Structure 1
Amino acid sequence: MKPRYLALPPQGKRPLLVLCLAAGAAAADEPTAGARLDAVQVHGSRSPGQLDPDLPSTLVGKSAEALLEQQNVFNPEDALRNLPNLTLRKRYSGDRNALLAGRSFSSLQAQRALVQMDGYLLSNFLYRFDAPRWNMIAPEEIERVDVAYGPFSALYAGNSMGVTVLMQTSRPRSAFEGALRLAGQSQSFDLYDDAGRYGNSQASALLGGRLESGSWWRLLLNRQQSTSQPQQYYVVLADAQGRFPTPSGPGMALPVQGIRYDIAPNGRRRAVFGANAGAIDRTLQHTAKLSAGHDFSPSLGVDGFLAWWRNDSHTSNRSFLRDAAGRTVWSGRVRDAGDATAQFDIPAQAFAPYSRDEAHLQGGLSLRTRHARGWNLLLQSSVYRVREDIQRDAAAPDPQAAAGGPGQAATRDGTGFDNLEAQARYTPSAGDWGGGAHALTLGLQDQRFRLRQRGLALADWRGGAPGALLSEVGGRSRLLALYAQDAWRFAPDWRLVSGLRWEAWRARDGLQSFAGIAPVQYAERRLEAWSPKLSLSWDAAPDLSLRVSAGRGVRFPTVSELFAGTRSGSKIERSDPQLRPERSDALELSAERRFAQGQLRASLFQDDVRDTIWNQLNPTLFPIVSTTQNVGRVRTRGLELAGEWHDWPLRGLSLEGHVAFNRATILENAALPASVGKHWLRVPRVRSALTLSYQPERAWTWSATYRHSGRQYNELDNSDLQPDRYGGVSSYGQLDLRLLWRGLPGLELALGVDNVGNQLAFQAHPYPGRSLFAEVRHVF
């Protein structure tokens, strides 16, 4: 087994303070003693400019080979599941809103995770639950994935203040090659005595070739069908004395059976009536992507891609209630047949289904030079457009909705973002610039975002032309940035990386319009920010490296955080056009010790964030209300320990693990003084994972991973004292298993189980139960 966390072998005396470090700088001295140079194969197809060779951040990652051997990867975001101090809030396979959380930020702050694919922007900084567009990539085309922590590089926008995810896709190396893949999952899930099995399937083809002329091409086709476990439930909370609110107005209550009672995360009694608000999501997704490139010479090349993603989603609900004749009850006034004092009014919309049809398009183009020394240039542009996005919400519960009837639609056609970047990098020869080797990077970046969301009346929610305009919200934002970074090796064992990033932000065309209310148009806003960076590293010994890094990151509000106050179905969202940008001042001290068979890393970090942008969702209310606001100051301090060990005590045995201790504290919050001194939301006190792999021979690989996430909170005042239940954010420990067989040329078979113990875990929504996994892949 070879080391899997090592991104690239060490270069010269370049410090290794992480479990993987970028390679690619042309000036390389002799390898550091004890380094495992066989850890990674570096091919000429690696995309220059994607990974900064002088990145002054802790960097971890995994190669395609490591992912194949160690993890059950159904969707591309699964590649991040076991990396240090990260949480992937993936509710089910096929989830379009698989959000990331990290050292100091929660899954409600996904705008602090910057995600790129081959240098192209995948992050969708438009809406709160707009996760990175994972759908523009498929598992079988991932060559490797790397994650950088903190705002320490001047090359990346302020959204990198949490983490920067750099996904690299493979390039063809022969005249014709390809891979065919079939994968399936079967999940068992049981909550509130409502057990079921839910299945997912995926089929994909990856074809490509490289021509003698210097051109190459690659075609990806992917089809995925998924069914989720129930995601949310209609509940009614009791008061502090345990009494449920009494319905007002006339009407007889229908006696029903089936109401479940439990305790909410805040400690209050509650009644649970069934899975609602489109709880069970059935999706059919298709991705088609064509990538191509041409090398005009060994030092000049162009490449690009065009990707299309289609999603058709249909939801359903499940009521627990039954009348005396055994018929399902979906709405109206009801009372518990066993307790006449427990009466409830169930709105018709509570168990209303919805459907969603989406078509997204993304394209990108890059022109770059590849000189071993001197200046290299990169010009890169990408465009993302939502060609179609319509969610149709019924006004009646499932049985009535099946026959049609009125409803509402929410559309986001025309929404999208553009990214343009020009970068120049100087790679020195030994002795350049006064005896100390400098590597200089200069860049210009222009990012533009546009959000347009409309609410429309529907005569028939199932289809037909939309009717009257009920609401319209939207706006535009633009981020223009200039940056410079210098990596200076001023002594044989020392390196200083300094950077400065200037960003100019503008928001305009903000609009909120609702039927019967005069529309509101918001004035244009302009802000600027400077973000300095500094990192000093020292090779204290051939096998020991130290680094201290400091950096500021500024994350400006998104268009939706400013302007998108809407109601869609059972959800109400409130924005704030005067939001202040987040400002992070981060520090990190890191040390790495390398051994012949592995390495260890320890990192102390602090992230002090002013004006944290926070959007709180309360799924226990109906309608569900979320509000955007600034929180004065949140400080996170922590310690990460990570390491890997290989071929001991048995050849082929590999052990990788990490543990992180986090303390995220609210220091200032004028809007809610009771929250001061409390723990920040959805940042667990402890995160850890341990992976044991054994490869007795090439044909077989056995892997087991135990993942743990500790105590965390979902309320600013930490009032959720019983988090291990629906609506809470629970701690958990789950075991995943995988067996890979490669006994025939080109054939790969894998069987696995995720969450072997079938442990119930929640991040407001429930995570999947025990999931069986099977995969067959043919490479040719």
Structure 2
Amino acid sequence: MLNTLRPLTMAISLALFTHYACAEDDDSALHTVTVNSARSTLDRDLPNTVAGRSQEELRQQQNVFNPEDALRNLPSMTIRKRYSGDRNALVGGRSFSTTQAPRALVYMDGYLLSNFLGRFDAPRWNMIAPEEMARAEVLYGPFSALYPGNSIGTTIAMTTSRPSTFSGAVRIAGQDQAYDQYGGKDHYRNYQASALLADRLASGLWYKLMINHQDATSQPMGYYTVTANADGVFPAASGSGPVTPVSGIVYDTSAFGTRRAVFGANAGAIDHTIQNTAKLTLGYDIGSTVSTEAMFAWWGNDSTTRNQTFLRDSAGNAVWSGKVSDGANTFAIPASAFIPYTRDERHAMLGFSARTRNPSGWNGNVIVSAYRVLDDRQRNAGMADPLAANGGAGTAVVRDGSGFESLDASINRAGANHHLTFGVHADTYKLKQSTRATADWRDASGAETQFVGGETRILALYGQDAWHFAPGWHAVLGLRAESWEASDGVQRLAPGANVNYARRSEQAWSPKLSLAWDADDSTTLRLSAARGTRFGTVAELFQGTAAGSSIIVNDPNLKPERSTALELAAEQRYALGSVRASLFQDDVRDTIWSQLNLAVFPNVTNVQNVGRVRTRGLELAGQIDRLGVQGLSAEANIAYGKATILENDNYLPSVGKNWPRVPRVRSATTLVYAPGELWSLAATYRYSGPQFNEINNADYNTDVYGAISRVRQLDARLLLKPSKGMEFALGVDNLNNNKAYQMHPYPGRTLFAEVRYAF
């Protein structure tokens, strides 16, 4: 009953927004308010629905520890951030899951941050410090010709601050998480410090220097389990050797409704990560019409993991492997179940942009960036804790030299009735990944046992016309032509034969059309239709590997995803707020899907095409600046959606099933009480419905470890401003200590504290 009432409560909240806004409406005070003031940093003629948050709104409303936190309360958004410092914080949207990373584009000041080099390689959020974020904005759907085919899901524009005078800020933040799972209780603490210094000189030169340091420890990310068959019988323990009587085995029910035995946190479950970022941005204004900018950023990560066994022998000693029995069942725990690993990473990014600002006529804009993995070495032990600390044979995965580049160049002309844009886009992704056998797992040097690599390139031309063809009427017509190529794909086995993949190329035309009508100063209706094409990534095509507890089966012959998207949106604006409703449909042919099978050990991931997936939904969003009480404001959004597999010749039992990891309902409601300038109190309740991870929807028991569960989380934040430039914040994330999972456990109740001084 409670789950039924939550969406109803959200809908009633939105209705109340409309009621209060109308009650306060006054023609003399009428002005345009776009939901969350999202459009300020984006092209004013974008045909997309947009939502976002400014830095001021974020500091008032949310406990932001990492940059991706800024997105978690926006409509139809899922951020797979498993813990603070997670390098795999993936994005999910209206019609795609958090394991379909290439359907989300992420930019920082126009520089590409989207990392498509691995299945779980998230956008490079590390290149941004929370302290420098000026605004975070989300564009929904592939309706603009200005963005590449990977925008068929969501495009995220992160804007950082630019100085107008000498300025700076210092920030220190900390978290304390109380976590309890399977009887293992502990506190996990995180710290972060950042500094920002900037100035704009009379010569036209400006600079900004940002440094950020983070020390974070995760809660356990995974557990070693053995699952019984449908009759509740566990597999027979194979192998020779004595059977050790143990205590501590925990039994529960898996996502498939079968009995499960849990032995402890495994596969490097607890991650201690130390990350440092340094970024220098230099800009120079040539007169009043030309702006140039150059950026260099460096990020480093040192990650050490550990495991935690629940098993104890009769003397109370920890047991990590071998045959064990609790008197009821006997199990064989492989030596690889509780192996730790370490990972050292050093990445760098370069960017340059130039643009003209002529008051009339044509203007130009160019943005280029290059991202390089300077060093990336993961060292995997060959034996379980605690013996692994003494060394011994193992494996290493090295990805030095991988990276991506991007170029966007355009010209535009804003006339009385037409805003024309023409441009070119190019990007390249290159993967180099070597697996090595090491005599001492703590050293990454050793004989190469496998190498995978390859490259993808995209070259695109696009044009768009924003046409005000009649009073109150606005059309955006666009066309994007893309040419894609995959080359140098290779799997080199030692010993064994090499697999060299043939060069491939594809082309796509993506037309765009949007028609908007301003019925009056406060009402806008917009109908948008578009085609978009998303090509296979270098990882999906070539990254077939067998390492540690994971096997990936790639497909070099993947077809590109082709999306046909529709949206009908209506927005009503009032003196004190606004309400928006969007009906949307996304019909995708040849959806690219990576299916992870956790029911086997090692885990196996298969990359494949799914014939046709269609998503239909309704999204509502609203805000009101004064809710009855002076200083009380509110925002709310709710999205209902149904993603259905309509065709799948590769696996017929999935036809008619729900698409994995896209919930039926997502919502967020935020209340803010700010009676003056000195302090404010905010609370946000987020809800996401249960989801499936399997395309046959067999994992119906969702609110358990290993499933994609509901999220029911309450966050709170108290912000104090005792003097100019000084801020103190205290908060709690997951105040209700909701246990939720995206296969991995989400954090438990987490205390947050922050001190900030800006000048």
Matched, 1:401 2:391: no
Once residues 260 and 639 of structure 2 are traced to their aligned partners in structure 1, the CA distance between those partners, rounded to angstroms, is 35
For 1:297-446, list aligned pairs within 5 A: 297-336=287-326, 338-339=327-328, 342-428=329-415, 430=416, 437-446=417-426
Q: Is contact 1:619–1:764 with CA below 8 Å preserved after alignment?
A: no
Residue 492 of structure 1 deviates from its aligned partner by: 1.1
Q: Equivalent residue for 1:256?
A: 246
Matched, 1:137 2:128: yes
Whichever residue aligns with residue 56 of structure 1, its letter is P
Matched, 1:561 2:540: yes
Matched, 1:123 2:120: no
Whichever residue aligns with residue 403 of structure 1, its letter is N
Q: 2:428 aligns with which of 439, 448, 460?
A: 448
Matched, 1:697 2:676: yes
Q: Equivalent residue for 1:57?
A: 48
Q: 1:590 aligns with which of 569, 593, 615?
A: 569
Aligned partner of residue 57 in structure 2, secondary structure: helix
Matched, 1:66 2:61: no
Q: Equivalent residue for 1:190?
A: 180
Q: 1:215 aligns with which of 185, 205, 209?
A: 205
Residue 421 of structure 1 deviates from its aligned partner by: 1.5
Q: Equivalent residue for 1:515?
A: 494
Q: Equivalent residue for 2:604?
A: 625
Q: Are the structure 2 counterparts of residues 140 and 704 from structure 1 closer, same or farther at C-alpha, using a change threshold of 3 Å?
A: same
Residue 621 of structure 1 deviates from its aligned partner by: 2.7
Once residues 567 and 307 of structure 1 are traced to their aligned partners in structure 2, the CA distance between those partners, rounded to angstroms, is 32
Could you list the per-position Cα deviations for residues 697-722 of structure 1 after superposition, in whole angstroms to 9, with x for gaps in the alignment? 10111100000001211111111111
For 1:676-695, list aligned pairs within 5 A: 676-695=655-674
Whichever residue aligns with residue 730 of structure 2, its letter is L
TM normalised by structure 1 equals 0.93
Once residues 404 and 35 of structure 2 are traced to their aligned partners in structure 1, the CA distance between those partners, rounded to angstroms, is 40
Once residues 474 and 725 of structure 1 are traced to their aligned partners in structure 2, the CA distance between those partners, rounded to angstroms, is 37
Q: Is contact 1:352–1:401 with CA below 8 Å preserved after alignment?
A: yes
Whichever residue aligns with residue 146 of structure 2, its letter is L
Residue 570 of structure 1 deviates from its aligned partner by: 1.1
Matched, 1:637 2:642: no
Q: Equivalent residue for 2:753?
A: 774
Could you list the per-position Cα deviations for residues 532-569 of structure 1 after superposition, in whole angstroms to 9, with x for gaps in the alignment? 00000001122111000000110000001001100221
Q: Is contact 1:372–1:427 with CA below 8 Å preserved after alignment?
A: no
Q: Is contact 1:189–1:229 with CA below 8 Å preserved after alignment?
A: yes
Matched, 1:35 2:35: no
Once residues 276 and 519 of structure 2 are traced to their aligned partners in structure 1, the CA distance between those partners, rounded to angstroms, is 52
Whichever residue aligns with residue 665 of structure 2, its letter is V
Residue 58 of structure 1 deviates from its aligned partner by: 0.3
Q: Are the structure 2 counterparts of residues 41 and 381 from structure 1 closer, same or farther at C-alpha, using a change threshold of 3 Å?
A: closer
Q: Is contact 2:35–2:623 with CA below 8 Å preserved after alignment?
A: no
Q: 1:741 aligns with which of 695, 717, 720?
A: 720
Q: 1:284 aligns with which of 274, 299, 302?
A: 274
Residue 513 of structure 1 deviates from its aligned partner by: 1.4
Aligned partner of residue 223 in structure 1, secondary structure: strand
Q: Equivalent residue for 2:230?
A: 240
Once residues 631 and 77 of structure 2 are traced to their aligned partners in structure 1, the CA distance between those partners, rounded to angstroms, is 27
Once residues 717 and 577 of structure 2 are traced to their aligned partners in structure 1, the CA distance between those partners, rounded to angstroms, is 23
Q: Is contact 1:313–1:357 with CA below 8 Å preserved after alignment?
A: yes
Once residues 416 and 403 of structure 1 are traced to their aligned partners in structure 2, the CA distance between those partners, rounded to angstroms, is 34
Structure 1 unaligned segments of length 5 or more: list them.
1-30, 431-436
Q: Is contact 2:680–2:719 with CA below 8 Å preserved after alignment?
A: yes
Once residues 653 and 248 of structure 1 are traced to their aligned partners in structure 2, the CA distance between those partners, rounded to angstroms, is 64
Q: Equivalent residue for 2:170?
A: 180
Aligned partner of residue 126 in structure 2, secondary structure: helix
TM normalised by structure 2 equals 0.95
Could you list the per-position Cα deviations for residues 258-285 of structure 1 after superposition, in whole angstroms to 9, with x for gaps in the alignment? 1111110001111111000000000000
Once residues 243 and 380 of structure 1 are traced to their aligned partners in structure 2, the CA distance between those partners, rounded to angstroms, is 60
Q: Is contact 2:35–2:622 with CA below 8 Å preserved after alignment?
A: no
Could you list the per-position Cα deviations for residues 387-431 of structure 1 after superposition, in whole angstroms to 9, with x for gaps in the alignment? 000000000001110011111000000000011121001111x3x
Could you list the per-position Cα deviations for residues 267-316 of structure 1 after superposition, in whole angstroms to 9, with x for gaps in the alignment? 11111110000000000000000001000111111002100000000000
Residue 356 of structure 1 deviates from its aligned partner by: 0.1
Q: Equivalent residue for 1:675?
A: 654
Could you list the per-position Cα deviations for residues 589-621 of structure 1 after superposition, in whole angstroms to 9, with x for gaps in the alignment? 000111111110000000000000000123343
Once residues 472 and 647 of structure 2 are traced to their aligned partners in structure 1, the CA distance between those partners, rounded to angstroms, is 42
Once residues 448 and 616 of structure 1 are traced to their aligned partners in structure 2, the CA distance between those partners, rounded to angstroms, is 26
Once residues 38 and 292 of structure 1 are traced to their aligned partners in structure 2, the CA distance between those partners, rounded to angstroms, is 33
Q: Is contact 1:32–1:543 with CA below 8 Å preserved after alignment?
A: no
Q: Are the structure 2 counterparts of residues 37 and 586 from structure 1 closer, same or farther at C-alpha, using a change threshold of 3 Å?
A: closer
Q: Is contact 2:35–2:621 with CA below 8 Å preserved after alignment?
A: no
Q: Equivalent residue for 2:150?
A: 159
Moved more, 767-776 or 612-621: 612-621
Whichever residue aligns with residue 71 of structure 1, its letter is Q
Once residues 567 and 700 of structure 2 are traced to their aligned partners in structure 1, the CA distance between those partners, rounded to angstroms, is 32
Once residues 447 and 34 of structure 1 are traced to their aligned partners in structure 2, the CA distance between those partners, rounded to angstroms, is 41
Whichever residue aligns with residue 290 of structure 2, its letter is L
Aligned partner of residue 401 in structure 1, secondary structure: helix
Once residues 623 and 205 of structure 1 are traced to their aligned partners in structure 2, the CA distance between those partners, rounded to angstroms, is 43
Whichever residue aligns with residue 506 of structure 1, its letter is E
Once residues 750 and 220 of structure 1 are traced to their aligned partners in structure 2, the CA distance between those partners, rounded to angstroms, is 22
Structure 2 unaligned segments of length 5 or more: list them.
1-27
Q: 1:524 aligns with which of 503, 506, 509?
A: 503
Residue 36 of structure 1 deviates from its aligned partner by: 4.9
Whichever residue aligns with residue 182 of structure 1, its letter is I
Whichever residue aligns with residue 303 of structure 1, its letter is E
Matched, 1:727 2:676: no
Moved more, 642-651 or 543-552: 642-651
Once residues 77 and 360 of structure 2 are traced to their aligned partners in structure 1, the CA distance between those partners, rounded to angstroms, is 37
Moved more, 245-254 or 294-303: 245-254
Could you list the per-position Cα deviations for residues 453-495 of structure 1 after superposition, in whole angstroms to 9, with x for gaps in the alignment? 00011111112x6111110001001000000000000001001
Aligned partner of residue 336 in structure 2, secondary structure: helix
Once residues 640 and 232 of structure 1 are traced to their aligned partners in structure 2, the CA distance between those partners, rounded to angstroms, is 34
Once residues 249 and 775 of structure 1 are traced to their aligned partners in structure 2, the CA distance between those partners, rounded to angstroms, is 54
Moved more, 249-258 or 660-669: 249-258
**Identity, % of aligned positions:** 58
Q: 2:438 aligns with which of 422, 445, 458?
A: 458
Aligned partner of residue 511 in structure 1, secondary structure: strand
Q: Is contact 2:36–2:51 with CA below 8 Å preserved after alignment?
A: no
For 1:543-622, list aligned pairs within 5 A: 543-622=522-601
Q: Is contact 1:416–1:451 with CA below 8 Å preserved after alignment?
A: yes
Residue 671 of structure 1 deviates from its aligned partner by: 1.4
Q: Are the structure 2 counterparts of residues 354 and 333 from structure 1 closer, same or farther at C-alpha, using a change threshold of 3 Å?
A: same
Q: Equivalent residue for 2:140?
A: 149
